[in-house]
Amino acid sequence: MSYVPPEERETKITITGMYSQLAVNTAIGVGTLIVFGFLRPRNGIVYAPKQKYSSEKKQPPKIENQGIFSWIKPVISAPEELLIEKIGLDAVMFLRFIRMCRNMFLWLFLLGLAIAGANLYGTRQDRKQFPKTDNPLQYLSISFLRNSRWFWIHVAFTWIFSLIIFRFLYKQYKEYSALKKQYFRSEEYQSSLHSRTILITGVPSNMQSDEGLQKYVIGNLKVNQQQVSQVHISRKVGRLPELIEEHEKAVRELESVLVKYLKDPNHISSKRPKHSLGGRCGGEKVDSIDYYTSRIQSLEEEIYSERERIKERKAINYGFVSFTNIADAHSVAKKFEGKVTLNEPQILLAPWPKDIIWNNLTVTNAVKGTKRLIGYAFFLLLCFFWLFPIGFLTTAAQIQNIVKIAPFTGDIFYANDFLAGFIESWMGPMIMGAFFIVLPQILRIISRYQGKATKSSLDRAVLGKLYLFFLINNIVMYTLSSTLVDLYGKIRATINAGNTDFKDLYKVVKEADFLDELADSLIKVSSFWINYISLRGVGAIFDLAQIVSLILISIKKFFVQPTPRNIKEFSRPPDFDYPVYYNIHLFFFTVGMLYSVIAPLILFFCFAYFSLALVVYRYQLMYVFTTKIETGGTFWRVVFNRLIASLLFWQVIMVAVMNLKGAHIQSVALLPLPAMTLIVKFICAKRFDAPIRYYKRKNSDPEYNNNIVSNTNDKVSNRFGHPVLTAELITPMVHSNVKHLLSKVYNGRIDETKVNRRGTIRSMSMIVGKNNQSFNIQTVDNKELEWDEQAYYEEQKPGYYIDYSDTASNYSGTTYASANNFPQKNQNHHQQRNMHPNNNPRLPPNSPNSPNNPNYHNPNNPNNPNNPNNPNTNNNVYPNNNVYPKQPRPRYQYDNNSSSSLHLLRQESPAPSVDNYSNYSDDASSLYRQQPREINNYNNSAPRGGYTPPLPPPITPPQQYNQRGYNQNNYNQNNHQNNYNQNNYNQNNYNQTNYNQNNYNQNNYNYNHQNYNNQNDRGYNNHQGY
């Protein structure tokens, strides 16, 4: 075999690697697009879940044609006004950012062609012939330019590029300011409670009451009493977060046991499932079904008991104050912005209730300061220790570095160009991507520890840390490591040559000229970033195809025996991880700008990537992903600051490179650019920051014209109380095809019933044991498995359904109305917003419970509660009024005489529930209405800081249910007090409910339950009494 010089071999490897990667990436990308086009119309749960869950208003454009590429036209042709309505301003600003980067890199690429030509021509002129190099793409860079006069071209284009970017950034900021003003004036924002509410943290102990906080607001904040609508100080919640977490865990464990035990609908095994307590070895064996059922009951008892005692608990150091209009709340927040002291309360605009990290609200400013320092120290340590895998990545990225460190590998790599090229082009970017998968979670832990009070601010902090981390480790440390590896290779070569004297080694280090080596390494590694961006383009197509999600869901469905709840959760639209996706594109922008002048070939790959990303993420945000918390595009300010930082970084690097290349005069010509960049940032902040952060009322705004009236019924204590006080406790769920086996499992009879929860009709199998005590298990059929009502309502009411992950629980539930929210103005609210499915416009057309579904009125449809021919419909379901039976819970006990069956279970027999709608707009648009409450509110929620009446004494039928009454909400708007009349509920001459034994009169709301012969029944009235 003929001898091939090392330079030629490395050149061949580099070219082969780049060609092979481009070919493989193109093939994989096109193939993945074809697979996506084929699977998309056949897997709506994976590729278009938002079409299933969105209302008509939020419904994305339907893709009627099922062709492989038919999805592209409706995606790219959707106007921005439509996108704002469908996906929200946060998602639109993300797409605008990608579009801005695409347009910028198009201009830079077209101009960069001239730079590349000048570099190629200058190299030829200076060297007379092209020098030998392991990477021929360096001819298009400034690597081989000698004469300093060539660098005036790069100085000129650095100025031109900077001015182009200044224009794009200013224009984008100006347009965002206009969009944010529209957001402030939108019905969604104008009708929300949080928009006119402020959050006060660090409240001193002498102010920790509603009255004390109100005096502070009026006295210290100089606010007129007429401007203040409601004041609420929060209270400790004790063990409720842990109890709710344990309850959900027990329910899921019971569901998992039942799905395995009842896997055969035609046969039930005589061997009941058991497990060991206290460890697998030597633990006590217990019946799993009985254990988890009893555990659920005991936890519910504790939760109800804790909720009933909430008024007895100590107040804590934060509260909420709502104002009569939005402008007053924003004016107060703006006035005290940035005034943070150790002992004084801090005033902020209240976030969405679901955005709050409740545990961090109690952290004082002094403690936050200490935690911030500790968090940043951990972050710096993380950056340092992450250098070791990055150093390994550096050596793995280039074959020549591997050969320098391990010379024996040279024969292997140089004999196989394709293998060497594949490793050099693919392994480095893939290893880097793998290392950064867990990084966002680590940074979230650090930011949460630092005391971030909201999830949106937590995400913004994670974005800031991610970007800084990528900048330090991926660019600075990567370039530095490459330089050190080159220097090590030279020292190793000197030692191999027999020159082991210290003077010889020192001479090698001295002659290396570290700064020149650093500049050369910065230019050389541009090919690595080209490969990385190219590979990430394939990753974006993989994001579109969601091959991994499709495979995982298929495996979970067919090989892991998922519970019905798991299957329903598979269909939920995933949340879009803004910090991660913003950071990736910010980093690519930084890399593109860094090499835009010194190695302009990268500009084409940046333009191609952002063009592809715009189409991919348009589809993803329109049809797949949801915005967990809509913040009105507040990520833009964080993104803008990082864009400014990347420009400063690029401009400083250009000054340094010019100096290292000997172009000292040219470097001086670049010095004004960083100052100009800071001026642009100052101008944008001065002109646009205040309008995008605070609402300023105009005469034309709806609030000014009283088109949207401040709602006094929407109580701050309800919406901004801790979510664990009102979390709907989940019910065990099984498939409907095994419900006939439940009587054998629990040794009792089954009563079928329907209940109304959150506007949906749910089938319940009530297992009745001894003493007529019962335990409810929800049954779902195949159609219901493909639709999760919780995800649907979260899509309809962002900010209404609370995520409890920040309270040590992974449960998501509903914020229910408190007992005080009875209708003030409209006495015909039952007719206007009847919760019966036939009159419920909130259900999507493809919901199993929707009357718009063609199968809904089928006599055999189990989801039609009004069909008398339906064998699955219980007579206790009351037609025409949508009142569903439910009874108060009894005390629980376990029958120790039986070892395998539960005889005394949770009482949840039929008892009437009352629709409760106030004439108001709840958080976010006309869709945001309060949810129906059932009579047994203790069984689902407790009032947030409101009056909690005692349970009525036990009664036995045929006594009427109106044993006691409360004038619960005789509400005086001037003094905001509740007057309770325990003998009568009279509101606007409205006799809400009157129960008689055998008659239900809808107009007079007279109702008498049918044959309530349970001796444990108690008349219970959802805090009103009957």
Tokens of 917: 């709608």
Q: Is residue 898 part of a domain?
A: yes
Check: CB of residue 751 under 8 Å from CB of residue 874. Answer: yes
Percent of the chain at pLDDT > 90 equals 32
In the listed set 300, 329, 361, which residue is the last one of a domain according to the structure? 361
Name the residue type at position 628.
Answer: K
Cite the DSSP H helix spans in 780-877: 782-785, 789-796, 829-832
Q: Tell me the mean pLDDT in the region 640-667.
A: 92
User: Angle 428-435/387-397 helices, nearest 10 degrees?
Assistant: 160
Residue 41: burial class (beta carbons within 10 Å; 0-12, 13-18, 19+): middle
The pLDDT of residue 579:
96
Same domain, 583 and 501: yes
- Is residue 168 domain-shared with residue 230, that is, in the same domain? no
The answer to whether position 649 is within a domain reads: yes
Domain limit, last residue, from 332, 361, 390: 361
pLDDT tens readout for residues 706-743 = 444 444 445 787 788 888 888 788 899 998 888 888 88
Instruction: Indicate the pLDDT class of residue 436, thresholds 50, 70 and 90.
Output: confident
Residue 758 pLDDT? 56
> Taking the C-alpha atoms of 347, 351, 355 and 356 in order, what is their torsion angle to the nearest 10 degrees?
30
Residue 928 lies in a domain: yes
* Residue at 560 is within a domain: yes
- Mention every residue, 6+ apart, whose C-beta is less than 8 A from residue 515: 660
- pLDDT value for 699: 60
Same domain, 641 and 681: yes
Q: Are 182 and 325 in contact (CB under 8 A)?
A: no
Same domain, 197 and 80: no
Co-location of 760 and 680 in the same domain: no
Q: Are strands 733-735 and 749-757 parallel, antiparallel or unpaired?
A: unpaired
Q: Is the dihedral of CA 384, 386, 388, 392 positive or negative?
A: negative
Please tell me the distance from the alpha carbon of residue 683 to that of residue 114, in angstroms, as a whole number: 32
Number of structural domains in the chain:
3
On whether both 750 and 676 belong to a single domain, the answer is no
Q: Do 813 and 877 lie in a common domain?
A: yes
Q: Is residue 382 part of a domain?
A: no
Q: Residue 320: which CATH number?
A: 3.30.70.330
Q: Is residue 705 part of a domain?
A: no
Residue 1000 has pLDDT above 50, yes or no: no
pLDDT in the model for residue 527: 80
Please write the tens of the pLDDT for every residue from 57-83.
Answer: 778 888 888 888 889 999 999 999 999
Shared domain check, 663 and 616: yes
Residue bearing the bigger pLDDT, 958 or 580: 580
Question: What does the DSSP assignment read for 365-391?
Answer: HHHHHHHHHHHHHHHHHHHHHTHHHHH
Q: Which residue has the tokens 């690519």?
A: 588
Alpha-carbon span 157 to 973, nearest angstrom: 65
| Separation between Cα atoms, residue 90 and residue 799, nearest integer Å | 14
pLDDT at 299 over 80: yes
Residues 669 and 770 in one domain: no
pTM summary value: 0.75
> Does residue 180 have a pLDDT over 90?
yes
Average pLDDT of span 472-501: 69
Contact 613, 639 (CB under 8 A): no
Same domain, 741 and 666: no
Q: Are 243 and 251 in contact (CB under 8 A)?
A: no
Buried b (16+ CB within 10 A) or exposed e, 670-701: beebbeebeebbeebeeebeeebbbbebeeeb
**Within a domain: residue 712?**
no
* Domain enclosing residue 331, as ranges: 191-239+311-361
Asked if 255 contacts 732 with a C-beta cutoff of 8 angstroms, the reply is yes
The strand pairing partners of 883, in sequence order, are 878
Note whether 197 and 85 are same-domain residues: no
Task: Mark whether 606 and 754 lie in a shared domain.
Answer: no
Tokens of 1025: 């009494």
247 falls within a domain: no
Residue at token pair 């660090």: 202
CB 782 within 8 A of CB 564: no
pLDDT tens, 349-371? 999 988 999 999 999 888 988 99
CA distances from 68 to 45, 63, 129, 622 (A): 18, 11, 50, 18
